[in-house]
Copies of this chain bind each other. A is one copy, B any other.
Amino acid sequence: MNEYREIGSVCIALHLRRAARHVGRIYDEALRPAGINNGQFSLMAMLAAKDDWTMQELADSLGLDQSSLSAAVKPLMRRDLIVQEAGTDDARVRRLRLTPAGRRLLDRARPLWRTAQRRAEELLEDHQPDAVRSALRALG
C-alpha cells in the first residue's frame, strides 16, 4: 500500500487551501463588476467597520503577515480607495482610512458580496455553516 494515498485525504492544509481557492474564486467572480477581489473587499470592509487601524492591527485581524498587508494596500492606494496617514503621537504607526471613493465602491460591492456569500452558504447546507465558521476561527 502506498503511504502517500492517505495524505491527499487527510491533510488539513491541502483541504483548507483547496477550499479557500475555490470559494475565493466564487467571491472574485461575483465582485468583478465592482473591480475588486475578495481580499480587497475584506480589507476595505474592515476599514468600514472600524476606523483607525494600524497596519499591525489590521494584519492580525486578517491573519496576514505584516509585510503582506504592506504590499496589499499599495494597489488600493494607487486607486485612491484608501489612504494611509502618519500617526500623530507615534511617528512609526500608519493609520488606514477609506476615501469617499473607496466607501462608494464598497457600497456598490456589498450586494455582490452577499450573492457570493449566499452561494457559499448553499455549499455548506449539510454542514452547519456556524459550526464550520467556528472551526475555522479555531484554525486561524
Contact = CB atoms under 8 A, between A and B. Distances in A.
Interface of A: 2-5, 7-24, 26-27, 38-39, 42, 45-46, 48-50, 61-64, 106, 110, 113, 116-117, 120-121, 123-124, 126-129, 131-140
Copies per complex?
2
A6 to B, nearest CB: 8
B117 A62 contact: no
A18 B129 contact: no
Secondary structure at the A interface, as helix, strand, loop or mixed, is helix
Contacts of A38: 13-14, 17
Contacts of A17: 20, 24, 38-39, 42, 63
The 6 closest A-B pairs by CB, nearest first: A18-B63, A127-B135, A4-B48, A18-B140, A19-B140, A19-B139
Chain B CB count within 10 A is highest, among A13, A132, A135, for A13
